[in-house]
Amino acid sequence: MARQEQGLRGKVVVVTGASSGIGRQVCVDLAARGCHVVCAARRARDLEATAALCRNAAPAGAGDLGPLVVPTDVSVEADVRALLDATLSRWGRVDVWVSCAGTTLFSPLADASFAEHRRVIETNLFGAMLSARAVVPLFRRQRRGILIDVGSVLSEIGQPFVPSYAISKFGVRGMAESLRVELADEPDIHVCTVYPYAVDTPHFQTGGNRVGRPARTMPPVQSPEKVSLAIVSLIERPRRELHVPRLAALGVALHRIFPLVTDKLLLHALREFHFGHAEEGGSAGNLFAPKAGEVGTVHGHRRPLIGTGAFFAWLVRELASIQVEAATQPRRRTASPSARTLSPQP
């Protein structure tokens, strides 16, 4: 580990979404390993708090490793260009760019305004695209660099209560795949995507919500620290994709093999455990601007409604119920294609 940290020392790393959650934790973990960290997000005050944490985490005798703070709205191309220019002005290069900025809207597709759904796409997908458009040409000139996009398990599986978030994360995955092909002749330029399962961040309390009940994370909950260490590992050893936890890849595979059953199981689980029972007024949350009174933190304060063990026991019971229901439903009788084709002509 010491040798790997020595290899990270002095790397210039841009992190978007650095004011809270995974982005803040990534900044702190990289600063602790001696990286030059560039903290970018909309909330200048919370970026300064992140920078203070980075300075405290930096190794003794690190020298000029102070973080750079650049207030940035990743959905605005001029802001992203200014972020790149500020980084180059200070250090003359970018070694790693981590696209971590993101927001969400808890609402079925038809229930919120389209402007709110569009804003999720603008931040999560267009923000990642604008970041890639800015930094990939620089990586080409440098002939090296690492782009890390934070996707989600919802980059591969749909979710009815955050459809615009899932759409944006599917798009992030598609962009990464396209860039890997584009850069196939550049062996020292890497495009990596990390796919976390539900993470304990302020995401669930600060996003827009038109469901009318407070959103809760679903077990098994991942800590921001665990996801951050996965991102650090991608800098140390770049890979195309990384699920957090790795077991989530098995869930994705099962969904591909048994889509009808897993769709129904997922819907039932979300209805039961994704939202608290208290009523909550609708809000656009932090979609268009930072939420009033919002203070950047790494962790959220909305715990799951059910523990991990009890949740998996519930899943087993619910799966059995779904299977019994399917077995007892009358099957519709349909003529086979061959029977229809070979039926006698009048």
Q: Which residues are catalytic?
A: 165
Which residue reads 């994704």 in tokens? 274
Q: How far apart are CA 22 and CA 203, in angstroms?
A: 10
Instruction: Tell me the C-alpha to C-alpha distance, in Å, between residue 161 and each of 227, 275, 314.
Output: 23, 10, 20
Residue partners of 71: CB distance under 8 A and separation at least 6: 40, 41, 42, 43, 44, 47
Contact 186, 180 (CB under 8 A): no
The token duo for 181 is 């092909």
Q: What angle do CA 265, 269, 270 make, to 5 degrees?
A: 120
Which residue reads 């603008």 in tokens? 122
What are residue 7's phi and psi, to 5 degrees? -70, -25
DSSP annotation of 274 reads S
**3-state secondary structure (DSSP) of residue 68:** strand
Q: How far apart are CA 287 and CA 42, in angstroms?
A: 11
Task: Please state, as a whole number, how many other Cβ atoms lie within 10 Å of the Cβ of residue 10.
Answer: 16
Q: How far apart are CA 157 and CA 255, in angstroms?
A: 8
DSSP annotation of 345 reads P
